[in-house]
Structure formats: structure tokens, C-alpha cells
Structure 1
Amino acid sequence: MDRINYQHLYYFWMVAKHGSITAACDRLHLAQPTISGQLAVFEQSVGAKLFRKEGRKLVLTETGRAVFHYADEIFALGREMSHMLKGRTTERGMRLNIGVSDAMPKLIAYRLMAPVLELSEPAQIQCVEDKTERLLTEIGLHGIDMMLADVPATPASGTRIFNHFLGESAVAVFAAPKLAARYREDFPRCLNGAPFLLPTHNVALRRSLDQWFDNRQITPAIQAEVEDSALLKTFGAAGTGLFFSARAVASEIQRQYGTPMLGLAEGVYERFYAITAQRRLKHPLVTAILEHARQGLFDLLDKPEPAT
């Protein structure tokens, strides 16, 4: 395919965007045979199927999803150019498509993305949360520019996937005020039999916590296992149980959830990574995030709070 037929690409994009040939025809005011015929020609020129049928629905194939992501960006740029030529200003600025692993602490993810929000140049972030495996697939298809995760990608994820270590944080125990008052003294021995909210076993932190309990001969009374870190903190704020989180965001946790820190889980750390499809970074917003993290962000955040 030496040259893209942008009219065909546009028809494909409209079908994918609106979910069916019929819906695209309504939008474009064209007959169904016209769209169907042009779509078939486009698939032939691409050399791959872009849709597959599931019942009456058209579903994008893996190649179709990759083409759709490129088409989405192409036509967004086209609209921006049109506004510029008409003398309109655009607030779109630079665009960053970022994925956040569902096991990634959301307060940490926000801290990492904060530099993008503070740039003088306008920037637009599209942020999606999903399973690590699905986000890695999106990176391979160039559906997202970068993902944030609590574990590095393994070699099995693909030869064009690269890990960028951002930093680490000690892990601490938090609790709602009534529970905090009960379990503050003689920490951590007082935690034996205490009610706990723990991440699920597929979360990297859980393995470290289980080992920490075993090493200190602590048997927690597990009230719930919660994969999503924000939901786990919400349960904790309601007094359901004690919970663990990164020491780096202790002040935000106390302010947002009203749950003071009881103490550190000595020897337990959470590590954080940016994962991209390129070793050499070209996207300025991705570079801004990595540079901010590497300039001692986690060292600064992990300093103890003044005693109160």
C-alpha cells in the first residue's frame, strides 16, 4: 500500500466510529452499497480484514483497531488545521494518550501526570484504566503513547515494549480514626488479628505484604480483597479495615480519606514504571513525565511528615 486513499480511510473511520455501515450512511448521506463497496476496496488495498461480524454487529479486528487509532488522530489534526485556517484558536494543544494499570495507585498516577497539567503550552490528556495485559496490547497497536504500571512489562509482552523505572515508595499502614486509635500502640505487633483490607493476589504488592505478615508472625483478619486501589481506600475510610498504601502519598490519603498513617511496613516497597513502545522517547509530554519522576519526585514525596 504505497499511498493512502483518504476518502476510503474516512469512510472506514465513520463506520468504526458509529458502529455500523447503516449509521455511517445516515451521517454521510450516502447509499449503503457505496460505503460497502469503498470499504471493501480499502480492505483490499490495506491487505487485511478491518472488521469481523459478530451477529449483526461489525467489530474491529486487531489491524482495524490500529488503523482506527491512526485515522482518529489524522482527522483530529485535519479539524485543527481547518480551525487554524479559519482564524480560530484551538485549545487542543499537544495530546497524550496514557493508560493506567488498574492496580496502579491512583494518587501516584496523578502525581506522575501532574507536570503535563502544569505546562505553559496547552495539553490534552486522554487517560484510560484497564488491565495491564490489555494496555500492553494497546501500546503495541499505538493506541496509547505510554502506560503507568506497578510492575515492568516482561519480555513476553513483545520485543518493542520498553520499561522506564520511575521510582519507588515505602509502604505504610493506614486506618480510619477509630481503628487507628485501637492499633497505634506497639506497632506492628498489635496488628495480629486486626481487620485488614488487602489487594487481590494478582497485584504485585500483595505478594510482598503476605511475606511481611509471615516474617512478623502476624495473622490478619482479612475483611475484603480489593483490586482497585481507590475503592480499597474508600472501604478503609468507612472503617471496614486497615489498609496499605504508598508512603509517598500519605498526606493526600489523610486529607482525602481521613485515614491517618499508623506506621511503615518495613522492607516493603511499591515500584512504578512507565512503559512505551520506544526506548528513545520522542513525545514531549512523555518526556516531561519521566524527567519529573527522575528528578527525585519519590524521594521528596517519601520524606516523613512533621510530627503533630
Structure 2
Amino acid sequence: MSLLNLHHLRLFRAVAIDGTLTRAAQRLNLSQSALSTQIRTLEDSLGHALFERRGRGLVLTEAGRIALDHAEAIFRAADDLTATLRETGRVRRALRVGALATLSRNFQIQFLRPLIGRSDVEVVLRSGSQAELLRGLEGLALDVVLTNLAPARDASSPWLVHRLDEQPVGMIGTPARVGQARRCLAELIATEPLILPAPDTALRAAFDALTARHGLSPTVAAEADDMAMLRLLAREDAGLAVIPPIVVRDELEAGILVEAATLDGIRESFLAVTLQRRFPNPLIDEVLRQSAAR
């Protein structure tokens, strides 16, 4: 097997981005013929055509799209290696955190609290879907992903899943709605309008299973896939919200909201997902150790 020439791979990436040999050659300060020759050499090495001509431009073949994905990962890894090894002796370090867009903000702050305010640390926060965040983690654009959804794993999966915390789930509402007298869970579900997580969440699936076991048909006042919106709807007295108390910790402490019942057997897990790396960000171990100690 011939060794992959990273110089050729870098030239290929430039052509793929520019879409023409002419523009890429100008940007790379090469002749068009020299660039074309080196692209053909890479194609011969890989055993596949990487481009096909359409009009005056070039478009990637299926093999070309695969090669570009791998090229981006290779050069991101090289950039990350350089940046990581240069961290030695630097005064300020960065931790790049991705968080599921629907994840509790209180939990995110709790995880990051050991780093907040430190003069030697810059925290970079990004939110998105699980798929987007895991792509960022795999592409080394993120150091850690905070989520409540465990990613699928098998023998070839690169993920390391760290369980940070597990919270009970309650039914939470305003003092006026909950009232003074304690009511049983079945009565609350049967009589009060409910604010529920979106149907595609693990928490909603567990709640639906609970109501089905007890033969209950709840009245759904609202659904949301964002914990912050569930919190706001509960504050607006739209109904009883099915959420972990950590999401509304401040409101519970202030008496703005109260917990009417705990949903036995339903718990929300909070996870940190990292990538197996030879040079992990040292800040990751630091925050994971402190999270485990709490």
C-alpha cells in the first residue's frame, strides 16, 4: 500500500474548496498543470477519481466527498495537536464545551463553576443538537459535550461517557396551583394540566410509560423540548411541569415554585461525553474530578 502524501491531500482540499484548478492554483502560487499533476498522483494513490468536470468547474465524486471529510479531520487533528503541545507554558487555556440545546442551564453552570472567574481559563460554550455536537467532538472542535442522552456505543465507538449526576424528576408548579393539601400522584395527573417534555425525549417516554401503567390520561397544557421553556411555562402557571428540580432550583429556593410530587422511578441523567485522545485538554480531567467529588 502506498503511503498517503499529506501535501497532495492539502492541495486536493484547496481544489475542493475553490471548485476550480485555476483559482486553487492562483491561491497556492502553483501552475495549473503542476497542481493538476499532483491531484492525479493522489487519485492514483487512492485508486479513485476524486473530481468530475461539470462545465468550467470541478465537483467531488463520491470518493472525493469521503476523501474531503477525512482530509478535514486529518488537518483539524494536526492543528489541534500543534495547539495542544503549545499549551505548555501558556498562561491562559481554553475549554471548548458543547451542550445539548435543551439541557438545563443550571446543570451547565454547576459543571463549569470550578472554572468560572479563573484568570488562566477561557470557557467557550456552544449549543446544538446531539448529532451536531458529537460531530464537533469527533472533529476536535469541542473538548467535551454535556448531554442527558447517552450516545450509542459499540466496540468501535470513540466516545467516553462520564455520568456526572442523576436527578429525581418532579411535578412542579406555583404555590397557588399546588395548594396546601398534599395530593397523591394519580390525582395530580388526573386533575391538573401538565407541562411536558417533547415526545422524542427520554424523560417524556418514561413519563408516558408511568401514566400507561397506572391507566391515567393526563391533560397536556403544553409541550417543549427546552428545559428553560418548561421552567418559564411553570412560572406562568400554565400547569404542573414534569422536570428535574435542578432546572428550577432558584425558583424553588425563592418559593416562586414548589414541588407537588416526585415521580418515583424516573430520574434524569447528566452526562459528559469526551473523545479518546492522546493529548486531551487537561482542564477536562480537572472539571470531571471536581464533578465526581461533589
Does residue 108 in structure 1 map to residue 107 in structure 2? yes
Aligned residue number for residue 128 of structure 2: 129
Q: Using a 3 Å threshold, how does the CA distance of structure 1 residues 31 and 235 change in structure 2: closer, same or farther?
A: farther
Partner SS for 2:288: helix
| Contact 2:169–2:262 (Cα < 8 Å) also in 1 | yes
Amino acid at match of 1:154: A
Which of 177, 180, 183 matches 1:182?
A: 177
Which region of structure 1 is more displaced relative to structure 2, 160-169 or 243-252? Answer: 243-252
SS of alignment partner, residue 114 of structure 2: helix
Cα separation, 1, equivalents of 2:207 and 2:31: 58
Check the 8 A contact 2:5/2:42 in 1, yes or no: no
The 5-angstrom pairing of residues 197-208 of structure 1 reads 197-208=195-206
Question: 2:150 aligns to what SS in structure 1?
Answer: coil
Structure 1 residue 250 and structure 2 residue 239: aligned? Answer: no
SS at match of 2:242: strand
User: For residues 157-306 of structure 1, what are the structure 2 equivalents within 5 Å?
Assistant: 158-175=156-173, 177=174, 180-184=175-179, 185-187=181-183, 188=185, 189-214=187-212, 218-253=216-251, 259-278=257-276, 282-296=280-294
Task: Compute the displacement of 1:76 (Å).
Answer: 8.5
1:281/1:182 CA distance change after superposition, 3 Å: farther
* Shift in CA distance, 169/79, structure 1 to aligned 2, threshold 3 Å: closer
Conserved in 2, the CA contact under 8 Å of 1:104 and 1:150?
Answer: yes
User: For the structure 1 residues 137 and 197, does the alpha-carbon distance in structure 2 shift closer, same or farther, using more than 3 Å as the test?
Assistant: same
Shift of 1:215: 5.2
Q: Go from structure 1 to structure 2 and tell me whether the alpha carbon gap of 1:243 and 1:43 turns closer, same or farther (over 3 Å shift).
A: farther
**AA paired with 1:265?**
L
Worse overlay, 277-286 or 200-209: 277-286
Number of corresponding residues: 279
For residues 78-109 of structure 1, the C-alpha deviation after alignment (integer angstroms, 9 at most, x for no partner) is 89999xxxxxxx88x32333332344323312
Show the counterpart of 1:68.
72
Report the CA distance between 1:212 and its aligned residue: 3.5
CA distance in structure 2 between the aligned counterparts of 1:32 and 1:255, rounded to whole angstroms:
69
For 1:257 and 1:39, locate their aligned partners in 2 and report how far apart those are by CA, in whole Å.
70
Mapped to 1, the partners of 2:194 and 2:155 lie a distance apart of 33
Q: Deviations over 1:19-70 (max 9, x none)?
A: 6458x86x95969959975993796599599x889x9888994553454356
- Between structure 1 and structure 2, the one with the greater Rg is 2
- In structure 2, the CA distance between the partners of 1:66 and 1:101, relative to structure 1 (3 Å rule), is farther
**Does the CA-based 8 Å contact 1:21-1:32 persist in structure 2?**
no
Cα deviations by residue, 1:174-209 (Å, 9 ceiling, x for unpaired) = 23x4xx412333333334232112112321111222
Q: 1:258, CA displacement in angstroms?
A: 5.3
Q: Secondary structure at the match of 1:265?
A: strand
Q: What TM-score do you get using the length of structure 2 for normalisation? A: 0.69
Question: Unaligned regions of 5+ residues in structure 1, if any?
Answer: 83-89, 297-308
Determine if contact 2:165/2:270 at 8 Å carries over to the other structure: yes
Q: In structure 2, what is the Cα distance between the partners aligned to 1:80 and 1:269?
A: 37
Return the TM-score normalized by structure 1: 0.66
Shift of 1:225: 2.5
Q: Aligned partners of 2:114, 2:66: CA distance in 1, in Å?
A: 33
Structure 2 gap segments, 5+ residues each? none
Q: Which amino acid aligns with 1:94?
A: R
**What are the Cα deviations for residues 120-154 of structure 1, in whole angstroms up to 9, with x where unaligned?**
4222424232134x433444444433222213233
Rounded Cα–Cα distance in structure 2 between residues aligned with 1:52 and 1:174: 58
Question: CA 1:20/1:152 → structure 2, altered by over 3 Å: closer, same or farther?
Answer: same
3-state SS of the aligned residue for 1:219?
coil
Counterparts of 2:225 and 2:259, CA distance in 1: 21
RMSD, matched Cα: 4.6
Distance of 1:45 and 1:258 partners within structure 2: 69
Where 1:294 maps in the other structure, the secondary structure is helix
SS of the equivalent of 1:68 reads: helix
* Aligned mates of 1:157, 1:231 — CA distance in 2: 37
In 2, the alpha carbon distance for the partners of 1:8 and 1:243 equals 53
